[in-house]
């Protein structure tokens, strides 16, 4: 069963952290707060397994700024959607946040529903990201079960080569190609070539 969404709120303003936490609690969304970028980076919530959710991040904070933290998170490979909030709201700052990978940008003071709409959209995006990551991990695990020859045959199949061409390229018999191809399909859990291709559309999943 999927865990409930979690919103991480990072803001040096205690009043803002408290009010956002109260708002989220009123609609049944779990929330944890951090007073600084450094507090967030120490949080175990950034380590797997991840719950669906997002980070609500203030742009201007003492020490590491919100945009600096956002860039740091992206460099670490953090895929959790980030919503930037600011009381200054200048256009260049908004553009910088979006270019750095922010999911959305909200200016203080904001309406409760505006914030909730942005958070719910980010949670939906987070669920999609986590589902995709789980699918890719499953495909990678199946690929790891293939023998070297099965991977070679599979790569040529995905390149559009016929069994005869694969046999010539690998200097093996067509019957051997057919055997490796069938075994690779079984290990990948693919019932058809079309299903196999759909599994492999992400570059990270390509056989090496």
Give the domain CATH number at 124.
Answer: 3.40.50.2300
Count the neighbouring beta carbons within 10 Å of the beta carbon of residue 47. 7
Supply the pTM of this predicted model.
Answer: 0.70
Asked if 160 and 188 sit in the same domain, the reply is yes
Q: Return the pLDDT at 2.
A: 58
Q: What is the pLDDT of residue 3?
A: 73
Position 36 scores a pLDDT of 95
pLDDT score recorded for residue 78: 87
Q: Quick one: 88 and 26 in the same domain? A: yes
Q: What is the mean pLDDT of each run of 10 residues along the chain (208 residues)?
A: 84 94 95 95 85 92 92 90 84 82 89 96 92 83 92 91 93 93 91 84 50
Would you state the pLDDT for residue 89?
Answer: 67
Q: How many domains does the chain have?
A: 2
- pLDDT value for 204: 44
Q: Is residue 190 part of a domain?
A: yes
Q: Are 137 and 179 in contact (CB under 8 A)?
A: no
Distance CA 19, CA 28 (A): 14
Show the domain range for 174.
145-205
Question: Which own/partner pairs from 22-27 qualify as long-range (CB within 8 Å, at least 24 positions apart)?
Answer: 23/112, 23/115, 23/116, 24/119, 27/116
> In the prediction, which pLDDT does 32 show?
95
Q: Tell me the C-alpha distance between 69 and 64, whole Å.
A: 6
């Amino acid at each position: 069963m999927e865990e409930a969404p979690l919103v991480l709120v990072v803001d040096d303003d205690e009043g803002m952290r408290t009010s956002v936490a109260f708002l989220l609690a009123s609609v049944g969304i779990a929330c944890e707060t951090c007073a600084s970028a450094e507090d967030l980076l120490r949080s175990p919530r950034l380590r797997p397994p991840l719950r669906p959710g997002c980070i609500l991040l203030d742009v201007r904070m003492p020490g590491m700024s919100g945009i600096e933290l956002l860039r740091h998170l992206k460099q670490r490979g953090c895929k959790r959607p980030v919503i930037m909030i600011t009381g200054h709201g200048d256009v260049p700052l908004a553009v910088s946040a979006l270019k750095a990978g922010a999911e959305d940008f909200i200016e203080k003071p904001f309406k409760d529903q505006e914030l909730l709409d942005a958070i719910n959209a980010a949670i939906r995006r987070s669920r999609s990201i986590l589902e995709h990551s789980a699918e890719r991990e499953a495909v990678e695990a199946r690929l790891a079960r293939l023998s070297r020859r099965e991977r070679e045959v599979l790569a040529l199949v995905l390149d559009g080569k016929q069994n005869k061409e694969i046999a010539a390229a690998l200097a093996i018999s067509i019957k051997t190609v057919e055997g490796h191809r069938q075994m690779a399909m079984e290990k990948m859990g693919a019932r058809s070539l079309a299903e196999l291709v759909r599994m492999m559309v992400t570059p990270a999943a390509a056989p090496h």
